[in-house]
Amino acid sequence: MRVSPNLEPDVLAGMQQSQADLQKALQEVSTGQRVNVPGDDPAASAAMVQNLAESNNNDQYTENASSALGQVQTADSVLTSVVSLLTQAVSLGTEGASSTTTAADRQTIATQIQGILGSVVSEANTSYAGAPLFAGTVDTPTAFTGSPTSGYTYQGNSESNQVQVGDSLQVQVSVPGNVLFTNASGNVLGSLSQLAAALNSGSVAGVGTATSAVTSAIHFISSQHAVFGNSINQLNTQESFLSQEKITLSSEATNLIGVDTATAAENLAQAENQNSAVLAAAAKVLPTSLLDYLK
């Protein structure tokens, strides 16, 4: 049998490989991953690129859905407040239409109606995240400008905002103010202004007609709850889906590049034992000066 008289290259190569194995085992323990660079597992690394892209999309959709849900719930709450204000106006209008109500009382009621009108406009100008809820897609400070006496002007447009909460899912998160508050089917601002004017003029018949118009506005605003209710249901459902998808993607990532803690610890122990054995063998072969240098 022929024995190589020069074992140093083989021993050095063994030491380098042992050190590399030890470093990899240490990295697995510290990161909890068996794949830390593409070369560790090219196929798993390629799959992780797609997994990370889907995870990033999931995070963005989740953020969008959360913000949109808050916006829609705020808008829905505004409509509830408006219905309450309009109900008060109907009660006052009914009182104003009574033949027993004096002219002075009607003037007082008219002032109250103007106050309600101002409160409704304040609700219509509600902002969310620094933008008016009911101005459509226009970047404007408020949806309506004006006063109870001079009248109000809509500053927005007739577009509805949509929010992307899935690869192929957009949810409506707003209804423009001109649709909600100045719609011919139930003109909220117009009917309140009409009621205030009728009370000021003392026309009992006019007060009755205007009160009926306010009642129609109540029915219309109440029907719009369905729009926001549907959006709230969609967003809640999508949030649940995204939450489950995040768990699935996390599990997939663990399966692709993760390492079991016990397995990582075992690999490290084996690498340390192997490295110790290689160093012990090298001590018998390599010159002392070289071993001293390595130390």
37 lies in some domain = no
44 lies in some domain = no
Residue 59, both tokens: 């995070």
Q: Treating both helix axes as pointing N-terminal to C-terminal, what angle do 8-31 and 261-285 enclose, rounded to 10 degrees?
A: 160
Instruction: Provide φ and ψ at 156, rounded to 5°.
Output: -95, -160
How do strand 144-147 and strand 131-132 relate by DSSP bridges?
unpaired
Same domain for 206 and 270, yes or no, is no
Q: What is the mean pLDDT of residues 24-38?
A: 64
Angle subtended at Cα 128 by Cα 183 and Cα 54, rounded to the nearest 5 degrees: 110
pLDDT confidence of residue 42: 87
188 lies in some domain = yes
227 lies in some domain = yes
Q: Three-class SS of residue 288?
A: helix
Q: What's the total number of domains in the chain?
A: 2
pLDDT confidence of residue 29: 54
Q: What is the DSSP letter of 258?
A: B
pLDDT class of 256 with cuts at 50, 70, 90? confident
pLDDT class of 269 with cuts at 50, 70, 90? low
pLDDT tens-digit series, residues 147-199 = 887 889 999 999 999 999 999 999 999 999 999 999 998 999 999 999 999 99
Same domain for 169 and 148, yes or no, is yes
Same domain for 106 and 151, yes or no, is yes
The domain in which residue 278 lies consists of 260-295
Q: Three-class SS of residue 244?
A: helix
Compute the half-sphere exposure of residue 196: CA atoms within 13 Å on the CB side of its CA: 20
Same domain for 203 and 105, yes or no, is yes
155 lies in some domain = yes
Instruction: Find all residues with CB under 8 Å of 198, minimum gap 6, and list them.
Output: 96, 206, 207, 209, 210
Share of the chain above pLDDT 90, in %: 65
pLDDT confidence of residue 208: 96
Same domain for 157 and 96, yes or no, is yes
2 lies in some domain = no
3 lies in some domain = no
Average pLDDT of the residues of the chain: 86
Residue 77, both tokens: 């709450």
pLDDT confidence of residue 87: 98
Same domain for 101 and 218, yes or no, is yes
121 lies in some domain = yes
For the whole model, what pTM was predicted?
A: 0.76
Query: Environment class of residue 4 by beta-carbon count within 10 Å: exposed (0-12), middle (13-18) or buried (19+)?
Result: exposed
CATH number of the domain where residue 227 is located: 1.20.1330.10
Rounded CA gap, 15 and 254, in Å?
31
Same domain for 222 and 285, yes or no, is no
